[in-house]
Amino acid sequence: MRRTKIVATIGPACDDHETLVRMIDAGMDVARLNFSHGTPQEKAETAARLRTAADRAGRQVAVLQDLPGPKLRIGPLRDGVAELKPSDRVVFACGTEETGDARHMTVAWPGLAEAVEPDDVFYLADGTVRLRVEDVRDREIEAVVELGGAVASRQGLNIPGELASLPSVQEEDLEMLRFGESIGVDMVALSFVRRAADIEAVRQHTRVPLIAKIEKPQAVDNAEAITHSADCLMVARGDLGIELRIEEVPLVQKSVIALAGALARPVITATQMLDSMVTSSRPTRAEVTDVANAILDGTDALMLSQETAVGAHPVETVAMMASIAETTERALPYEEWNERRVRRLERSDQDPAYTVAYNACAAARQLELAALVIPTLSGRSARIISAHRPQVPILALSPGKETVRRCSLMWGVQAARMRRHEVTEELIADATRRVVELGWVQPGDRVGVTAGLPSGRPGTTSLFQVQHV
C-alpha cells in the first residue's frame, strides 16, 4: 500500500471524465483546482466531474481549492504573449487591466508604484525574465529588461523582499473562498502567506481546513507560528526559488517538512517534481531522486502542477509518482520517526491524543498488529497518528463525508464512512466490524483501536485498545 499521497492539478490536459477516472486509478488522492486560471463556472463543472469520476473509480478524492492570494500579476497581453529583449524598456501602469504588449503592461494593484523605487528588481515568467526599475511616476513604473524572454498574459510578477502595504487578504480571494465552499471543496490553499495573522484573517470567514503555502522569505522566518495556525503546509518551491537564493530552497524544504512533522501537520512538497513529463513520457533521473528525497525527508504528499494540468502525459505522470513513492517507502525509518518525529506535548495542557498516538504506534510495532483503526469525527486523531509514521495501515472511519475526503491528504491513511455512535464500547465494536467489511483487515487479525470518552465529541481521544477482529 502506498502511503505518500499525490496531489494533481486539474487543467485542460485532464479535465474530462475518462482522464480523471484514469488519474484516480493511477493514484491521484487530491485534485487541485488553481483559481488563478479559468472561471468560477469552469471550476464548478470540474468539481462535479471529479465527484462523478471518484464514484466511478470507487475511491475518495479530496478537492483542493488554491487561491491566488496577494500575488502581483500582469494584465492581459495582445496575442497572449510578449517577447522581452535585453535593454528593452517596459512601462507598467498600476491599477488598471488594459491589454498590454512588450512595451506597455498593466498591474491591477494601484499601490505598486508607491511601494517600489528606482533600482528595485522585478521578475517575470517564474524568474526567467528580470527587469530593473529606472523611474517611478504617478501610477507608472518604467523598467529596463536585464534578462529577456517570453512573458504570457496574467503571469506573476515577483519583487524580492516584503511589500508591507500589499493586503494579506484580498476581497477577490474571499469571494473565491465563498464560491469554493458552495461547490464543496475540501481544503483551501492560501498563497503568499507571510505571517500567522494572514491565516487567522481567512479563518474568520470559513471552517474549511487551510493550507499555508510557504513561498515567501517572511513565511520561512515565521514558519513555526504559521504551522501552529495552519491545518497543513505546502512547500511551494516555484516562487520560493525566486524570492530566496535558489540554492537555499532545498534546506528550506527540509526544515519545513521537519517542522510540520514535529507539530503533526500534513505537508505537501510542490513544483517541478516531474517537470520533464510535461512533454516527455519519462522523468529525468534527477527528478526521480528529488521525489524520493522529499519522501525520505517525511513529506505527506507530493504535488504535480503543469505536469498534469497541461502536460502530454497526465495519467502516466501520476502513475510514475505513485511508483516512485511505493519503491522509496521500503526504506523509510519508521521506528526512528515513531520515537522522535512528533513533539509529544504540542500544547501546554498536555493533550492526551498525542500520548495515545505515540503509544498506539509503539504497540503496533511491538505487538505486530495488522492495522490501527481510528474512529474520528474531525480527522484530528488520524492526523496525529499519521504524523508518527506507523508501519501498519492507518484506517480512519468517520460519519462525515467531508472528514473522509480530507483524510486523503494524510500520509498512510485510508478512510471510509461509518455511522455515529454515542457509546464508546459500541463505537469500538462497530469500527472493528467495519474494517473487516471493507476488506482492509482479515477476520482473526489483531488491530489497535483509538477512541474517546465521552464518545461523539471531537478532540476527546483518550484511550487505546487491542482487539481481535
Q: Catalytic residue positions? A: 32, 73, 213, 271
d(CA 11, CA 86): 33
Q: Which residue spans within 24-148 are E strands per DSSP?
A: 30-34, 62-66, 81-84, 89-94, 104-107, 121-124, 129-137, 140-147
Interaxial angle between packed helices 171-182 and 196-203, expressed in degrees from 0 to 180 and rounded to the nearest 10: 50
| Residue position matching grid coordinates 470559513 | 206
- Amino acid, res. 446: R
Smallest CA-to-CA distance from 360 within 455, 263, 448 is with: 448
Contacts of 33 (CB under 8 A, 6+ apart): 9, 10, 43, 46, 47, 63, 64, 65, 66, 185
Distance from chain centroid for Cα 340: 24
Strand duo 62-66 + 187-190: pairing: parallel
CB 279 within 8 A of CB 312: yes
Please state the separation of Cα 380 from the chain's center in Å: 17
Helix (H, G, I), strand (E, B) or coil at 202: helix
d(CA 208, CA 220): 24
DSSP class of residue 86 equals T
Nearest to 154 by CA among 95, 189, 107: 107
Give the C-alpha separation, 208 to 66, whole Å: 12
Q: Is the dihedral of CA 2, 270, 258, 464 positive or negative?
A: negative
Q: What's the order of all strands across the beta sheet hosting 157-158?
A: 104-107, 89-94, 140-147, 129-137, 121-124, 157-158
Find all residues with CB under 8 Å of 275, minimum gap 6, and list them. Answer: 287, 306, 307
* DSSP 3-state of 447: strand
Residue of 441, 427, 338, 333 whose CA lies nearest to 386: 338
In this structure, are strands 210-214 and 232-236 parallel, antiparallel, or unpaired? Answer: parallel
- 276: which DSSP letter? G
The Cα 339–Cα 341 span in angstroms is 6
